[in-house]
Structure 1
Amino acid sequence: MALILTKAGLAALVEAEESGTKLQATHMALGDGNGSVPEHTTSSPSLINEVWRGALQSITINEQGDSDAGKQVVFEAHVPINAGGWYIREAALYAGDVLLAIGTHPVMWKPAPEEPTKMEHVIKAPVAFGNAGAVSLIVDPTVVLASQEFVNKQLAEHNGSHDAHPYLKKLLNEHTHTWSVITGKPSVFPPAGHTHTPDQVGLGNLPNTKSDSVTSTSSNSLATSKAVKIAYDEGKQALDLAGQKAASNHNHNSVYATKTHTHTPAQVGLGNLPNSKSSSVSSTSENALSTSKATKTAYDRATQALNAANTKAASNHNHDSRYYTESEVRSRIADSKIHGGIELFSGSVNSSGRPIDEKTGQPDLRYGVCDGRTYASPDGRNVSTPNMRDRFAVGAGGKYSVGSKGGADKVSPTISTTASHHHVIAYETGNDLSGSTYHNFNSRNTGDYDDGTRHTGGSQAHENRPPYIGVFYIKYL
């Protein structure tokens, strides 16, 4: 998107240069064009249908955006989340009541505040100025809207400054307490030399002396209440399960130390039978129980894999800037086209000769139908088109040059274009035959044409075109 300087804006710029003052840019306005993309010119007095106006947020000079018209200045405004429910098709810049620049904006929907896709939108409008130094920005702090990103950045810079909150530092430096108002002080001050045991200090209050882990084997740290509760809950669950097994399967009152007896694996517990336990983390056996060692090994490896995956995701999967919006995709496709190229188009065109996009229903200002008219391109150039209505195209470069015309819908035959041919005339002697069918040698001069050779065809034109279908030729401006 690039705005064009209006006549009023140009006059204001000239006045600023002559007076040595700066042009005071103040606001940006957006419009929906009343449902279609307008074609603004330097004489446009205003937007077709203004839907929003706000103070400019910033103004910068694009060092890479110089053009024949001069330096390119980028004006930026933030459309807040609580504004929306309309399309953006046009934009304008104002210096107070003076319309500085105006132009079209890529068609975009600004969601209403109540929509789930509501968003804050940043509008950047570049304008080419002959003297970029004559443009300045007037910002009213009471009306300029700061984005959340801007607020966070300003707050971080403020809190990181050594000069932040000087009044608080001054109060802290000047503030004092008398000994009499301090509570909980020792009876002797300064206290006499003394020592503290770990019990008095509390190991839990020392760095690196407490742990929530239930798998740690360190003897230099204390288990927290959280770790103790995890261990207690696991132990209680195991005890309850063991109690259920003992109550249902281990009644030995009648056989204890009196008779030889046997136990089933369910009564004894598989963990107590030979070859029924394993520390392997790769075994697929259904007849062995995993030991705590195997469980811990599997847990440690899973934790290690999770940490590695999280590290990779954090360092390698930032996709914030790796996708394109629909407008960016359209822009990149448009950049691959050659200006002046002619394409076939089977849709409809408006009275201005602009093809209508079948998806958006809006005229595409990058094209003009080839009907002999001259069109204004989006970048301000005037581009002429050949009149290709009712014409077949032929490849140029040999017998045909670009722009040459010829041919006709229908042609009429002429004697000079008719192929040379003969008529056979039969002669008869005697005068016993009459009529126009035979030539009577005695009654006619032999140089005369026979009656039958005098009839000629009509001069009606005949079709000169191959089978066809009509489509528009449109030129990429």
Structure 2
Amino acid sequence: MADYYTLLTNAGIAYETACKAAGVPIKLTQISVGDGGGSVYNPAATATALKREVWRGPLNALFQDEKNPSWLLAEVTIPPDVGGWYVREAGLWTDTGILYAIVKYPESFKPVLATSGSGKEFYIRSIFETSNASLVTLLIDDTVVKATRAWVMSYLAEELGKLDGKQSVRVAASTNIVLNGAQQIDGVAVIAGDRVLLANQTLAKDNGLWIVANGDWARATDANSSAKVTPGLTVMVEEGAANGDSLWHLTTNAPIALGTTALTFKMLAGRTGIAAGTYKSLTVDEYGRATAGANPETLAGFGIKDTYTKSEIEGMIANASMLPVGTIVAFPGATPPVGFLELDNSVKSAALYPDLNTYLAGKYNKGDEGTGNFRLPDGRGEFLRGWDHGRGVDGGRAIGSYQLDTLQNITGTFDGYLDITTAGGAFSLSNMSTSSTPLNQKNAYHGAYFDASKVARTSTETRPRNLAVMWCIKAWNAPINQGNIDIAALAVLAQQASEINQGTAKVATQAQTNAGADDSVIVTPKKLTWGFQFQKSGIGYCVFPSWLGGFTIQWGVYSIVSSTTDQTISFPLTFPNAALSAVALSDYTPGSGSVGFVAMGALNKNGFTVRSSSGTSTRWLAVGC
């Protein structure tokens, strides 16, 4: 038998047998330590208590050994405020007060600070074997239990392994590989201990995080159980020609049974094969990554379908009718469109409408337009007639001349005595005889009258049926910038601003502001105050802006402590170039009967020296730049 060991007691074995028979768990609650009665001894299975118990407390932990499931490990920490005795034995107790196991422990002294001069926490771990470890239950009082360092580290590692964010891998394999030995993956020679992401194994259940080994590979400890491999698992890839510096995540949904469920990993961020640069057209994957780019130079390249092609536009331009200046067009509205003026006989400026002025050439001027103006034709209430231009239908006309309305002449005659008994249409009869002969007598003398209004619409003019429109003339070509109308309006503003002229001006630089010689630039408030400093106190200074040469005034008060030695008064601010002058005056107390004196010495950028009556308060003022 080993020198130090743990035994299940006979009472403990009986308790365990009874628990198995009843189907209830074995409940362990406490551990006790003893000094063996003052000496080391060999515990026996017949023991029901320790030889001499010196301390008892709750178990910290009870768990199975990772390599031997039938072994149980019990842990306890004895606090530093108890002790002053040796530990030679220990016992594990059930919740019913039975000594379940007894431990022969290496003789160790447990000091206590109050009597031993030092104190420490005492940690005991006991290993014992049971026939069915799964039946053993640890009852813990959370208010007194303490965690061991090993347990904490193990617990942290286990919990961290369950997080979705995993430790980075060296490389990621996007093709099927053999899970054995060192090899080349994505241009990198991996060696034992390297972490690798497998994302495209033939059997997708084998995808995941693996550790390279000289023999068979094993899954990484942070991804070797179903609880640690969860949907959304993410991992960074450090190296690799194709997958280096990329981020991958697990897209498989729960539930996941590691080693059974097919795992799908996809690149969330990283290299997509598209070169760095500026692109006008991009192809984007489901994660918003640009996977392809192009710089098309045609509408078709951009996939634009709601416009004309280049050839179609060129054809429309070639066949389009651009109305020249001077074209007269009828519009059925009261407002002329942009680029047109109403033919209203008004006077216009030749400067505003130079093209139209040139085209009309003063043809409609009456002589009262004034210098630089021209007159428009008057189309209000007029029909427009094509110029005869030598045809002979309306000969003798000058283009642009007005013509009054006329009626083609109608002629006819009556001769002799008329024997008219009836009249109709445009004609009417009247009795011209002085006798009382009835009108129906054939030999009566009658008068005949013609009146067209009796059978037709008549008015004061001869006209066809018509529609009233506004006759307008094309005045300029640009639909937005109306000839040079805008340019003329801006011409004055485009010149250099001066005291008597509006215009534009540049902002002065600080150098121009300081020089004060350029009258064609303007100064901003920031440049006006550049370099200005001011300290408002009994000892202070005022530094004028840089455009005033940085002229500086400083002042202060100084108490003289000696009348026999020179004393230095330092300026609160060193003059940048030179101290030009300084004065100092002595204070005196009214009614004291005495007046002090001040004598000044050396003056420089940093200060000056004075000598004065002892205890005299001196006020001084200095100027410089």
Answer yes or no: same fold by TM over 0.5. no
Greater Rg, structure 1 or structure 2? 2
TM-score by length of 2: 0.23
Point out the structure with the larger strand share. 2
